[in-house]
């Protein structure tokens, strides 16, 4: 887990502000769910055999001896909130989004943190494939307006409970004779969750010859997927069909998608991903209800924004620093800052250092102005307003300060 410092904050404001703005533009409303959830909810959602549940959860008992987790993903929580708060009885679908930290005990590395921030979005309560295309368009718009040019969309359908069992059988029949040559991890996948073999990192070329889900889709899934592809084309959104895209969470049905960046590599390093999860609500013990959504990793996305050479400036500590030249001028300094704040962010140097030291530190602070005064000037209600870049300085009355700064 890491600290995000003031110098990075401009980029975070921009990315999160744009996420809110784009989501609102499509009619999605923000929700905030607690950072902890009942372990059982998250485990049932992501699936017992998923990597997240098997080895990445911050799982603990609270003082009431309830098992909780720091949420590793937001979809199970969003579905819980949808039912518990009565959104299931309002207009459908509920269009919701979150900007929230997620926690995974993974091996930390570049773009992989134990706490990461997601822009996640869910359309719950309507099974139309048009919503799959809609949520993809929201994500696409966010990446585009962040200025990213090297993002590619990978798209697949992994079928539903009608057609997936036959596909799973075909995969097992293909991999079973290869079992001895698979890694221990993949041997376990073969027994517990064969679809995840398509996502294996230890694969030795077996995936390429494996049966393809596209050959197994039932008519309904095939038609729905055709509609998603057609709608993306109509929206001018390019995509790449990727029959190996199965995603790491167990709740997906039909459409799955991921956004990849050229400077990251492989599915492990996606900027974001999502899909349809029509079986999730029932698996959590609620009324069967369809849904579709995505989670986009803001940490990684911002790393790619700077990788592509875009620089987003962070706000300085203050644009104007008030520098009282003597002790005992706190009240006047606060009054000057209050007037400056009518126009620019302003702060006071309340330290007991010499004026020379205060000037030096103001010069290195990134501030544009210094307002300097001594006791006599305070009595006359004036300051020396100094442009810290040019060194130009002039006397300004307190009451003219905001107007002068605006010139
Ligand atoms: P996910 O693919 O597990 O999906 O995570 C979404 C995104 O979060 C990833 O593509 C990645 O950018 C970012 N991410 C995940 N783990 C880390 C990490 N350790 N460090 C940095 N970034 C990370 C979900 O979480 C689903 N809930 C998405 C979804 C919503 N599906 C339907 N609705």
- Per-residue model confidence (pLDDT) at position 34: 98
Distance 92 CA to ligand 1 centre (A): 25
Q: Helix (H, G, I), strand (E, B), or coil: what is residue 247? A: coil
**Confidence label for 265 from pLDDT (cuts 50, 70 and 90):** low
Ligand 1 pocket check for 272: Cβ under 6 Å: yes
Q: Distance (Å, rounded) from C-alpha 32 to C-alpha 212?
A: 39
Q: Distance (Å, rounded) from C-alpha 37 to C-alpha 258?
A: 26
Residue 266 pLDDT exceeds 80: no
Residue 397 pLDDT exceeds 90: yes
Ligand 1 pocket check for 303: Cβ under 6 Å: no
Task: Yes or no: say if 304 and 263 are a contact pair by the CB < 8 Å rule.
Answer: yes
CATH number of 320-402: 3.40.50.800
Q: Is 115 exposed, middle or buried (0-12, 13-18, 19+ CB in 10 A)?
A: middle
3-state helix, strand, coil in the chain (%, to 5): 40, 20, 35
Range(s) within the chain of domains with CATH label 3.30.930.10: 6-163+217-307
- Per-residue model confidence (pLDDT) at position 317: 86
Give me the chain's average pLDDT, please.
Answer: 95
Which protein residue's CA is at the shortest distance from atom 11 of ligand 1? 297
The conformation of residue 316, written as its DSSP 8-state character, comes to P
| Percent share of the chain, pLDDT over 90 | 90
CATH number of 6-163+217-307: 3.30.930.10
Range(s) within the chain of domains with CATH label 3.40.50.800: 320-402
Residue 268 pLDDT exceeds 60: no
User: Once rounded to an integer, what is the mean pLDDT over residues 287-302?
Assistant: 98
pLDDT digits (tens, 9 = 90+) for 56-92: 999 999 999 999 999 999 999 999 999 999 999 999 9
User: Once rounded to an integer, what is the mean pLDDT over residues 340-347?
Assistant: 96
Ligand 1 pocket check for 248: Cβ under 6 Å: yes
Angle CA(50)–CA(246)–CA(221) in degrees, nearest 5? 125
Phi, psi (deg, nearest 5) at residue 276: -90, 145
- Secondary structure element (H or E) that encloses residue 245, with its range: none
Residue 248 pLDDT exceeds 90: no
Residue bearing the bigger pLDDT, 208 or 98: 98
Q: Helix (H, G, I), strand (E, B), or coil: what is residue 67? A: strand
Q: Using a cut of 0.85, tell me whether the model's pTM lies above it.
A: yes
Residue 146 pLDDT exceeds 50: yes
């Amino acid at each position: 887990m890491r600290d995000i410092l003031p110098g990075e904050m401009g980029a975070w404001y921009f990315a999160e502000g744009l996420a809110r703005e784009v989501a609102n533009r499509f009619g999605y409303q923000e929700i905030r769910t607690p950072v902890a959830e009942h372990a059982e909810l998250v485990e049932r959602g992501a699936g017992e055999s998923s990597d997240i549940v098997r080895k990445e959860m911050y799982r603990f008992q609270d003082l009431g001896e309830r098992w909780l987790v720091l949420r590793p993903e937001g979809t199970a929580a969003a579905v819980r909130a949808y039912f518990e708060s009565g959104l299931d009885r309002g207009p459908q679908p509920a269009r919701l989004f979150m900007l929230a930290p997620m926690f995974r005990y993974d091996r930390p590395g570049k773009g992989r943190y134990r706490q990461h921030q997601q822009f996640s979005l869910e359309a719950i309560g309507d099974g139309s494939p048009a919503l799959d295309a809609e949520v993809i368009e929201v994500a696409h718009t966010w990446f585009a307006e962040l200025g990213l040019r090297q993002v590619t969309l990978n798209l697949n359908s992994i079928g539903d409970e009608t057609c997936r069992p036959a596909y799973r059988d075909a995969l097992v029949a293909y991999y079973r004779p290869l079992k001895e040559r698979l890694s221990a991890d993949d041997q376990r996948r073969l027994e517990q969750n064969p679809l995840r073999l398509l996502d294996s990192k230890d694969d030795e070329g077996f995936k390429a010859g494996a049966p393809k889900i596209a050959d197994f889709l039932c008519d309904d899934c095939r038609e729905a997927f055709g509609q998603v592809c057609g709608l993306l084309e109509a929206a001018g959104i390019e995509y790449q069909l990727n029959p190996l895209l199965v995603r790491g969470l167990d709740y997906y049905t039909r459409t799955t998608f991921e956004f990849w960046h050229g400077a990251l590599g492989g599915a492990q390093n996606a900027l974001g991903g999502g899909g349809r999860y029509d079986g999730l609500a029932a698996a959590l013990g609620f009324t069967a209800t369809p849904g579709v959504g995505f989670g986009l990793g803001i940490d990684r996305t911002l790393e790619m924004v700077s990788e592509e050479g875009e620089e987003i400036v962070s706000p300085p500590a203050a644009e104007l620093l008030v520098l009282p030249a003597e002790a005992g001028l706190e009240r006047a300094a606060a009054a000057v800052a209050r007037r400056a704040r009518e126009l620019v962010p302003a702060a006071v140097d309340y330290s007991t250092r010499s004026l020379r030291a205060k000037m030096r530190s103001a010069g290195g602070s990134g501030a544009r102005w210094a307002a300097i005064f001594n006791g006599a000037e305070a009595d006359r209600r004036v300051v020396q307003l100094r442009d810290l870049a040019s060194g130009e300085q002039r006397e300004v009355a307190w009451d003219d300060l905001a107007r002068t700064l605006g010139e």
